Chains A and B, each alone.
Chain A
């Protein structure tokens, strides 16, 4: 396990607040949230439904603009009262991998191309993209399904292909929203092992939202969110 204090955090969130709507309809989804995640760490984001977990993940992934606060990814300040980069999608492509609760593979591409599409967007050539995609699928132990269409994959296989896609461009920040919710405990364990492996081997920071008590023991730290606020007794 890497020592968190010795390296620059990959994710730094400082005093971020986010509210939706105004007046009577105002919802404070995040209130003054600060946290850091270091390379090699696998941390969990825990909290009841509606507590702001997804909102926080979206802010970190630069999908959602915070109302106030400061955000830095991989040593680059990306938000300081306003976005500091205009090409947020490129930033995502370079630094952030998403794993969805439902796998969200593109239904018209087979496993290999679902992974390769990220690589070709990142500028890799066709053959190189395919080669690396297949490599990743093998790494995630779904290489035997490389020509299958998403509709024909089991939940666990689809989730692993989705993880391969999230990892394809070697992002150092991986955000996962309930990555194991759709899986049984055995498969959930396999997925968590994989994420751990990636965190260690690629020095990545992994932030996963979860409800899943059976995997709590697999996280280095757990952040508790309640009504948009981080609890103090984070473990």
Chain B
């Protein structure tokens, strides 16, 4: 006869309520981890989408995401001619704001040259950009659909294609337009004073600037050698894909990462303390029964089993509920929540460990109980 199960069944409502409370707590822990993963994932989306090996930016900067970078538009041709480069593309990145219906819409605008690296990697609906002007591919998170028309700067763009999960590190949905359009937009969105200067022609050719050149290298060519070659131009800096990703996770999302990491750690500690307290009080409530069991001759194994099994049942059910809860609501979060199986498993293992450790507290208490207390009136 399984005493743990029978006791739970006797107090089923209370037990389930406790499990439910625990599941909310563990759900919050899971979603924090998911938000953290989502943040990192989001930040890396833009860097990973073009699937390139080398990033060439303005010298002295760690652009184009962590710092602003402006380089001449003809850089791409120079990079494309370097030994080992198989493809190169110019890209621009800028934030813009527009309206869609009555909603204000913040966008992250990527300009690229169709046919070269830098565009969306997967079109989830519609088609890629086909004309050189006024077409855009927008992420579904913009709320736009194919055929929508959107004002950007002084021009009206038509949405021809959609992407999934393309957001900037700040969480703004991404749209793709052609490089030419983006340069025009960059000019139109520049402060009036700068715009006047450029129009007056005091810095000729300035409208043909880009933020970075991205390049793929041929197999068997090390990206570092291409970066090395690019750095020989004094006005350029270059880094490998891995470096770019590191910069992004380190600098752009670092603080948010630490914040969430710390918060998650705190939540884990709070959960551990709460689980320990629950298990301790669960044992406290049963001391008389435990004394009775000892009196009628139950071995320690039976008593430890009773407490441990209940602890594990609570941990498992609490975690299960929590995971289920978060999986079913994660898509309603404003930012991406990425639930990795390994994170779930790690948390599950942590919960089990905490349950076992904290039931040790209860077990210690239970084993010390004097069977004579069952006799006492």
Task: Give the interface of A toward B (CB within 8 A).
Answer: 54, 57-58, 61, 63-64, 89-90, 92-94, 98, 100-102, 104, 106-109, 113, 116-118, 120-122, 126, 129, 149, 165, 169, 177-178, 181
Instruction: Specify which chain A residues have a CB less than 8 angstroms from the CB of B299 in the assembled complex.
Output: 89-90, 121
Instruction: Specify which chain B residues have a CB less than 8 angstroms from the CB of A93 in the assembled complex.
Output: 296-297
In the complex where A108-B6, A178-B377 touch, is A90 in contact with B297 (Cβ < 8 A)?
yes
B6 in contact with A63 (CB, 8 Å):
no
A121 in contact with B375 (CB, 8 Å):
no
Pick the 9 closest A-B CB pairs, nearest first.
Answer: A93-B297, A108-B10, A108-B7, A92-B297, A101-B377, A63-B372, A89-B297, A104-B292, A108-B6
A58 in contact with B289 (CB, 8 Å):
no
Instruction: Specify which chain A residues have a CB less than 8 angstroms from the CB of B294 in the assembled complex.
Output: 89
Task: State the interface size on chain B (CB cutoff 8 A).
Answer: 25
A121 in contact with B302 (CB, 8 Å):
yes
A121 in contact with B297 (CB, 8 Å):
yes
Complex CA–CA separation, A100 to B288 (angstroms): 12
Query: In the complex, which residues 34-64 of chain B have their Cβ closer than 8 Å to any Cβ of chain A?
Result: none
CB distance from B60 to the nearest CB of A (A): 73
Complex CA–CA separation, A169 to B295 (angstroms): 13
Complex CA–CA separation, A178 to B372 (angstroms): 15
Complex CA–CA separation, A149 to B7 (angstroms): 12
Complex CA–CA separation, A122 to B294 (angstroms): 13
Contact sample, A vs B, 15 pairs, CB 8 Å cutoff: A58-B372, A63-B295, A64-B372, A89-B298, A89-B299, A94-B297, A100-B374, A101-B375, A104-B375, A106-B3, A108-B9, A109-B3, A117-B3, A169-B297, A177-B377
Complex CA–CA separation, A90 to B294 (angstroms): 10
CB distance from A37 to the nearest CB of B (A): 19
B375 in contact with A106 (CB, 8 Å):
no
CB-defined interface of B277-297 with A at 8 Å, one 1/0 digit per residue? 000000000001100111111
Complex CA–CA separation, A181 to B377 (angstroms): 11
A63 in contact with B289 (CB, 8 Å):
no
Instruction: Specify which chain B residues have a CB less than 8 angstroms from the CB of A58 in the assembled complex.
Output: 372, 375
CB distance from A105 to the nearest CB of B (A): 8
**Residue in contact with A116 in the complex, picked from B1, B10, B293, B376, CB distance below 8 Å:** B1
